[in-house]
Amino acid sequence: MNELRELYQEMIIEHGRHPRNFCVLENASCKQEGFNPLCGDHLILFLIEKNGVIENISFQGSGCAISMASASLMTDAVKNKSIKEAEKLFQQFHLLITENKSEENLGKLAVLAGVSEFPARVKCATLAWHTLKAALQNETQTVSTE
Amino acid sequence: MNVRKDFPILEKIIYLDSGATTQKPRCVIDAIQKFYLEDNANIHRGVYELSQRATKKFEHVREQVKNFIHAEHSHEIIFTRGTTESINLVAQCLSHNHIQKDDEILISAMEHHSNIVPWQLIAEKIGAKIKVIPITDLGEIELESFRKLFTAKTKMVAVTHVSNVLGTVNPIKEMIRIAHENNVPVLVDGAQAVPHLSVNVTELDCDFYAFSSHKMYGPTGVGVLYGKTEWLKKMPPYQGGGDMIERVSFEKTTYNKLPYKFEAGTPDISNVIGLGVAIDYLNQIGMHAITEHEKKLLAIATEELKKIPELKIFGESENKIGVISFTLNDIHPHDIGTILDHENIAVRAGHHCAMPLMQRFNVPAMTRISFGIYNTEKDIENLIKGLKIVHEVFHERIT
Ligand SMILES: Cc1ncc(COP(=O)(O)O)c(C=O)c1O
């Protein structure tokens, strides 16, 4: 039960049920779709980027608690960050959920550390991040974590 | 049913995913090893005794399969890599002359991707159309709508015998009768039927019947296509190579007789041998006893699951066998799967290779349990306990 509690922390369940920034951004400068065909997690990311800074970001979609909470926490975490900072954050976050290592204080994102005990769920936790990366690189294809 | 001892792997796991693949009894595993230790040679070619022995064993399995599904002739049994390849074979071969531009192919709303995509591939290539047979909220084929879908352009019906998601046993005998009244051949996807029901292709009068060894306690890598002689004779070969030819010259090649015309290259000999042993094993237990055992488990599990508040079961046909797909409140199946896995219970979570069916029921995913001969009431108890933990994690959290 302990590992499960570690994975499904209160904040994850809460963000999974009531994700933040869960809306359409009408004036988005970029829209990117992400899809995890294995389990059907699906999201669309909206962002407004100006001079290399993510001024606003939101998402819509459906999926497991981990993918929704991760998307919710990510949007909070990268808002008002520069693209460089966001990319660095993704690297750090990836290290956290695959190897349970963190070099810097990742703030709320750290609640997802429990994913490191569940390798099958890494894809869920990174779907939003991969989608963000693709959006920032201006890719047109739907991102797939497969 | 006292078979658990035959499945060493079950000591380690509560396995409720036989719909994906069944576990293998020790006799099947041993037979494959024994074949390599004592009988291994290529078939249909060696003049030496060893090769003849391997050929004889291989061809004996064809006889066994023929008897198991009550076909009339063993040359109507073609070995493939699995259900998927069997269906692709039929679709590709029929696309050469039988199905043409603007023709229509009927498939049901509950098909597995492997009985959708092969038809889409040929439809796209030749400009044919796919029409979908609707299903009811209970998860049953709408027979009346099916009847009305036929036009002069209808050239093929492809439908599953048993749904891998809903568990519905479709009225395929009736459907085949209706199709034949319209002079349309029928392919039946039997992947989820053969492991659970006694199948009689002669009585059904289907034109093609496809299934996989690995879902019926046999090894992976082998499947079967049953086809009526008249169709198999009409169809061009699927792949070219060794074994499927009679005489080859650079000017012209003549093809081997049935079933070899459709078996190009060296087949998966050892695993075909394994399939034969799996069939013996199933016959020993008896298909009737298997159906009854799994029906009992289905009834118990359905009753227990229905006691859980906010659990919704998809597929409530009277004609249903050992599969239950469900959703639990707003908890995503993937989360349910992870928590059950943590309790050592293997279930399937996701779209079950049936995305159009998920759309039909308006859910992104479902959790599925499916039974095999080795499952017990104890497995169901454990599942219910596991689902209580799911509830705990998501609702009544002890902080
Ligand atoms: C109804 C149905 N058809 C076809 C298949 C495909 O079988 P295979 O992957 O063995 O080719 C499956 C397997 O999941 C199935 O359940």
Supply the CATH number for residue B237's domain.
3.40.640.10
- Do the Cβ atoms of A40 and B365 come within 8 Å? yes
Residue A16 has pLDDT above 70, yes or no: yes
pLDDT at B398: 39
Determine, yes or no, domain membership for B166. Answer: yes
Local confidence band at B34 (pLDDT 50, 70, 90 cut-offs): very high
- Do the Cβ atoms of B333 and A66 come within 8 Å? no
Determine, yes or no, domain membership for B98. Answer: yes
Contacts of B330 in chain A (CB under 8 A): 17
How many whole angstroms from its chain centre is CA B301? Answer: 23
Residues with CB under 6 A from ligand 1: B 82-84, 112, 114-115, 160, 164, 189, 191-192, 212, 214, 353
Determine, yes or no, domain membership for A100. Answer: yes
pLDDT digits (tens, 9 = 90+) for B348-396: 998 888 889 999 999 989 999 999 999 999 999 999 999 999 999 987 5
Give the domain-ending residue among B283, B303, B331: B283
Percentage of chain B exceeding pLDDT 90: 89
Supply the CATH number for residue B360's domain.
3.90.1150.10
The answer to whether residues B76 and B187 belong to one domain is yes
Preferred mutation among B325, B334, B399 to probe A, highest tally of A CBs within 10 A: B334
Nearest by CB: A64 against B335, B358, B399: B335
Local confidence band at B35 (pLDDT 50, 70, 90 cut-offs): very high
Determine, yes or no, domain membership for A83. Answer: yes
pLDDT at B151: 98
The answer to whether residues B237 and B305 belong to one domain is no
Q: If phi over 0 gives left and psi between -120 and 50 gives alpha, with beta otherwise, what is residue B3?
A: alpha
- Amino acid occupying residue B339: I
The answer to whether residues B247 and B186 belong to one domain is yes
Contacts of A127 in chain B (CB under 8 A): none
Distance CA A117, CA A5 (A): 11
pLDDT at A145: 67
What token pair was written down for A34? 């992400």
**Whose CA is closest to atom 9 on ligand 1?**
B84
The answer to whether residues B118 and B149 belong to one domain is yes
pLDDT at B396: 54
Determine, yes or no, domain membership for A21. Answer: yes
The answer to whether residues B207 and B311 belong to one domain is no
pLDDT digits (tens, 9 = 90+) for B276-329: 999 999 999 999 999 999 999 999 999 999 999 899 999 999 999 999 999 999
Contact B140, B317 (CB under 8 A): yes
Give the domain-ending residue among B283, B314, B331: B283
Identify the closest residue of chain B to A35 by CA–CA distance. Answer: B364
Residue A92 has pLDDT above 50, yes or no: yes
Contacts of B365 in chain A (CB under 8 A): 39-40
pLDDT at B242: 85
The answer to whether residues B300 and B176 belong to one domain is no
Regarding predicted confidence, which is higher, A51 or A103? A51
Percentage of chain A exceeding pLDDT 70: 95
The answer to whether residues B11 and B70 belong to one domain is no
- Do the Cβ atoms of A63 and B331 come within 8 Å? no
**Which has the closest alpha carbon to B220: B283, B162, B159, B278?**
B278
Determine, yes or no, domain membership for A39. Answer: yes
The answer to whether residues B85 and B128 belong to one domain is yes
pLDDT digits (tens, 9 = 90+) for A48-60: 999 999 999 999 9
Local confidence band at B251 (pLDDT 50, 70, 90 cut-offs): confident
Determine, yes or no, domain membership for B399. Answer: no
Determine, yes or no, domain membership for B123. Answer: yes
- Do the Cβ atoms of A10 and B331 come within 8 Å? no
Give the domain-ending residue among B283, B303, B324: B283
Local confidence band at B249 (pLDDT 50, 70, 90 cut-offs): confident
Distance CA B395, CA B335 (A): 13
Determine, yes or no, domain membership for B227. Answer: yes
Tell me which of B27, B93, B206, B353 is the catalytic residue. B353
- Do the Cβ atoms of A40 and B338 come within 8 Å? no
Determine, yes or no, domain membership for B126. Answer: yes
Distance CA B86, CA A35 (A): 30
The domain tally of chain B equals 2
Catalytic site includes residue B353: yes
Residue A144 has pLDDT above 80, yes or no: no
Supply the CATH number for residue A120's domain.
3.90.1010.10
Q: Is the pTM of this model over 0.90?
A: yes
pLDDT at B399: 38
The domain tally of chain A equals 1
The answer to whether residues B180 and B111 belong to one domain is yes
Local confidence band at A140 (pLDDT 50, 70, 90 cut-offs): low
CB pairs under 8 A between A and B: 54
CA angle (B74 as vertex; B72, B79 as ends), nearest 5:
130
What token pair was written down for B24? 């293998």
- SS3 of chain B: the string is CCCHHHCHHHHCCEECECCCCCCCCHHHHHHHHHHHHHHCCCCCCCCCHHHHHHHHHHHHHHHHHHHHCCCCCHHHEEEECCHHHHHHHHHHHHCCCCCCCCCEEEEECCCCHHHCHHHHHHHHHHCCEEEEECECCCCCECHHHHHHHCCCCEEEEEEECECCCCCEECCHHHHHHHHHHCCCCEEEECCCCCCCCCCCHHHHCCCEEEEEHHHCCCCCCCEEEEECHHHHHHCCCCCCCCCCEEEECCCCEEECCCCHHHCCCCCCHHHHHHHHHHHHHHHHHCHHHHHHHHHHHHHHHHHHHHCCCCEEEECCCCCECCEEEEEECCECHHHHHHHHHHCCEECEEECCCCHHHHHHCCCCCEEEEECCCCCCHHHHHHHHHHHHHHHHHHCCCCC
Nearest-CA distance A102 → chain B (Å):
24
Distance CA B208, CA B189 (A): 8
The answer to whether residues B172 and B321 belong to one domain is no
Contacts of A8 in chain B (CB under 8 A): 335, 339, 393-394
Determine, yes or no, domain membership for B165. Answer: yes
Q: If you average pLDDT over every residue of chain A, what do you get?
A: 91
The answer to whether residues B386 and B261 belong to one domain is no
A119 alpha carbon – ligand 1 mean position (Å): 26
Q: In a 3-state reduction of DSSP, which class is residue A105?
A: coil
Distance CA B209, CA B228 (A): 9
Contacts of B331 in chain A (CB under 8 A): 65
**Which has the closest alpha carbon to B192: B381, B390, B19, B333?**
B19
Determine, yes or no, domain membership for B347. Answer: yes
Identify the closest residue of chain B to A38 by CA–CA distance. Answer: B350
Dihedral of CA B13/B15/B17/B23: which sign?
positive
Is residue A137 exposed (0-12), middle (13-18) or buried (19+ Cβ within 10 Å)?
A: exposed
Furthest C-alpha separation in chain A: 47
Structural domain boundaries enclosing A79? 2-136
pLDDT at A1: 66
Nearest by CB: A63 against B332, B351, B397: B332
The answer to whether residues B277 and B312 belong to one domain is no
Q: If you average pLDDT over every residue of chain B, what do you get?
A: 95
- Do the Cβ atoms of A3 and B342 come within 8 Å? yes
Mean pLDDT over residues B84-92, rounded? 98
Q: Which ligand 1 atom minimizes the distance to the CA of B84?
A: 11
Angstrom CA distances, B139 to A117, A129, B10, B294, B310, stand at 38, 38, 31, 19, 19
Structural domain boundaries enclosing B261? 27-283
Residue B1 has pLDDT above 90, yes or no: no
